[in-house]
Chain A
Amino acid sequence: MKGDGKSIPVDKEILTPISSSEEGQQQPVQANDSVISARHLTKKFGDETAVDDVSFEVPRASIFGFIGPSGSGKTTTVRLLTGVYVPTNGEVVVFDRNPAKLSRRERVGLGYMPQLFVLYTNLTVWENLNFAASLYGMSLFRRKKMKEALKFVELYEHRSKLARNISGGMLRRLSLASTLVHDPQLLFLDEPTAGIDPVLRHKFWDHFRELKDQGRTIFITTQYVSEADNCDLVGVQNNGKLLLVDSPRGVRHHAYGGDMIDFHTTQPFDFKAEGLLRSLPFVKAKTIRTSPNGMRIIVDNGSTATPELMGWAQQQNIEVKSVEEYTPSFEDVFVELVRPEVRNG
């Protein structure tokens, strides 16, 4: 199953996008079971609009990735969702309630990792984690969970170090462990992988997917747009506006106006063949010559276009070397999406 290539309108029901893991496994996300619902959310600070009429829904047991350039309003959105900020316009519903009005029992189910380290530099790693665990009323028999959390973020060996004596990346990891230690149902993670090495980032995402499989819902912002591939749904935000929400594949489709196929022949393309290729009905106008023998073409639907493309080549006596779907990196996708905004802005 693949995305429909359209951004999700605010008041429309979320379609059923897929989550695509790096291993290519796809698991359906249930629709109509939203844990978070944002409608026409707007936040202004004086004359400046930080978040502009943003609407989306986050299904239960999903990973919702929020990507956008620095200053695009990601952190403000997270703060609106957690009830730290009151929206200027619009409304947020978390667990069917205004997040600022959640009961204490409901708050126990939340986990929030702010963008900056807000724990205490004069305490050790273990003491900070202990503080966070106590804050959520974890029982006195919490040592095992604390140990697991620290081992997960690879800080257990550093548990006796003062927070002021560890690196920025370690502080992020401690922050993440503090957010996860009480095993919350809904996680708000504001750039949890910033400053983390790629190997550990990979491990983090594996864990997030495990949490999702256990039924947890994760709302995550990231400055590494490539990480969007790990999400079930991706929201792309720029200048406070939400450009679209879709599955990672749907976002790609939207960015380029269709699926991308790399078409390689044994002989170099001539102008005539290229012209004929462009005139095919399922081929979008935009084609890119990647080599003398290769063309990258954009089609409405990659899976149906491939056999049709093979048939056309046979008719034209063109010997095909390979036809394969091309998956652009999310960095490219992001640039493609944001570029028109930048031009217009």
Chain B
Amino acid sequence: MGNFFRGIIRASSFFRKEIFEILRQPRLVATLVLGPFLILFIFGIGYRAQSSTVRTLFVAQSNSPILAKDIQQFGQSMDLMLNYVGVTDNLSQALNQLQHGQVDLVIVEPVDATTTIKNNQQAVFILYHHEIDPTKVSYINYLGWLYAGVVNQQVLRSFAVQGQADAVNLHTSLQDAHQNVSAMRQALQTGDFALAQQKQQGLVTNVDAISQAVGISLGLLDGLQQTNGTSGGSSDPVKSTLTDLSQNTNQLGDSTVSMDARLARLDKVDKDLTDLDTMLAEFQSISPDIIVTPFISETKSIANVQPSILDFFALAVLALLLQHLGVTFAALSIVRERNVGAMELFRVSPLSAAEALLGKYISYMMFGGVIAAILSALLVFVLHVPMLGNWLYFTLVIVAVLFTSLGIGFTISIVSQTDSQAVQYSMIVLLASVFFSGFILSLDTLLKPVRIISWMLPTTYGTLLLRDISLRGITPNWVLLGGLIGIGLVLMLISWRLMRRLIASSQ
């Protein structure tokens, strides 16, 4: 029998041994399969895809320009995020409630907002909180920004409502102006120049009134048109219409021009008045809410599915679990052989480091593969995590993650002196994976030098690749996959060298 076949037999001894040892621990296998599945299942059921409401107490001085009923209205308009508790004028009492956890947030209304704004300064809402969680602090900052936006919107809305109310009077002035234009045309055509002069004076008065009133109402619409880019290139169409209207109206009194010219100018005035009337009708037909918040956003994904939070995290959990499984099993494997004294036996035997490692690699890959297959099936067919891509690519990534994780584990195992040391090192790898692999925080949030750690962890590659395959349905990024396998090969080489030294070295 050749050396090659003897080597295969020796490697197979480790393969069988590891598999039998694992199968003798059915609880361990059940935990490895059911544990992550149940965690994801409960997470899927228990996760609320909305932020928690913050119990908020408002503080407003009795002479505050913002009335208590308005504050309640503001607070209740944000009821998905903010739980309105009440309004008080006692700041210290409010802060005391905050200190004792009776409320989560205290919003203090600005004391003399009108004066502050008149002084060309912004009035400030002050938000007090008692949070230590940076995420929640960010959320409260965001909440404050939203609250200020809500109040600002209400202020703008009141302007819009006022403008629309004023537009009713404007409409009357426009009708008077139209009547004066008709009367003047008739007077000119009948040669009653005195009456025409009188109607022209009335028209001037109408146009002056329109010019003064139009600022608030149609100015808002004009601003909207400019922002939207629909003003046809003119920088201020309302203003230019008013200017034309005013000039033409004044020039109607010029008796030196011909009758035809005066009638043409009168037609122009009539048209401007009709345009203004049309604009006024448009302005009145728009809801004040649309005027103050004319734009909203709506997101649409070009992906084939929109994954839920569970879908998104399930694949990261799978990658992390497989890494942890590989690292832990391998880490304990060799150090345990050393502790029971088996290395002594191996040194005397014809066993080589490559044979021992090969047997262990294959056994753990097979075991990890079975666990991955069961978990993947549960994720896809029970938790309905989308699987848009190719199962072959999916399997390839799983194998690569396991292979590289085993390399980490074997390296740990050979350099560790005791079981406890190996477990500690494995836990450090796990902890690093939680923080640096993009499992919780996106990689973009890390400084580039720190991301070196991320790119040393199989979970980082596994998470990205599995999400691409499952949720986007695309082929894996071959550079990433190659990088992962490359790290695995380097680690296997290191493990082999260390193992060779361990078996060969004598004390």
B-contacting residues of A (Cβ < 8 Å)? Answer: 79, 82-86, 100, 104-105, 107-108, 110, 112, 114, 116, 118-120, 122-123, 127, 130-131, 133-140, 162, 188
Contact = CB atoms under 8 A, between A and B. Distances in A.
Contact of A79 (B16, B344, B504): B344
Contact of A86 (B6, B341, B345, B507): B507
A105 B12 contact: no
Interface string B8-26: 0110110011001100110
Interface in B13-46: 13, 16-17, 20-21, 24-25
B296 interface: no
B350 A118 contact: no
B24 A122 contact: yes
B450 interface: no
Interface in B335-363: 340-342, 344-352
B479 interface: no
Contact of A83 (B21, B25, B347): B347
A221 to B, nearest CB: 15
A108 B351 CA distance: 9
Contacts of A120: 17, 21, 340
B6 A112 contact: no
B13 A134 contact: yes
Contacts of A79: 344
Contacts of B24: 122-123, 162
B230 interface: no
Contact of B350 (A84, A105, A130): A105
B227 interface: no
Contact of B345 (A83, A104, A112, A162): A112
Interface of B: 1, 3, 5-7, 9-10, 12-13, 16-17, 20-21, 24-25, 340-342, 344-352, 504, 506-507
- Top 8 nearest A-B pairs (CB, nearest first) are A134-B13, A137-B6, A104-B350, A107-B350, A118-B341, A112-B348, A86-B506, A122-B24
B310 to A, nearest CB: 37
Contact of B10 (A114, A116, A137, A188): A137
Given A112-B345, A131-B17, A134-B9, A84 B351 contact: no
Contact of B342 (A83, A100, A118, A138): A118
Contacts of A112: 344-345, 348-349
Nearest to A139: B1
A101 B171 CA distance: 110
A119 B344 CA distance: 11
Given A85-B507, A127-B16, 12 more contacts: A84-B344, A112-B348, A112-B349, A118-B340, A122-B21, A127-B20, A131-B13, A137-B5, A137-B10, A137-B350, A138-B9, A140-B9
B225 to A, nearest CB: 80
Nearest to A108: B350
Given A84-B347, A104-B352, A122-B20, A135 B341 contact: no
Contacts of A136: 10, 349-350
Contacts of A100: 504, 506
A63 B13 CA distance: 31
Nearest to A137: B6
Contact of B344 (A108, A114, A123, A139): A114
A118 B345 CA distance: 8
Contact of A82 (B7, B12, B340, B347): B347
A130 B17 CA distance: 9
A233 B10 CA distance: 35
A188 B347 CA distance: 13
Contact of A139 (B7, B9, B350): B9
A135 B347 contact: no
Given A100-B506, A105-B350, A130 B16 contact: yes
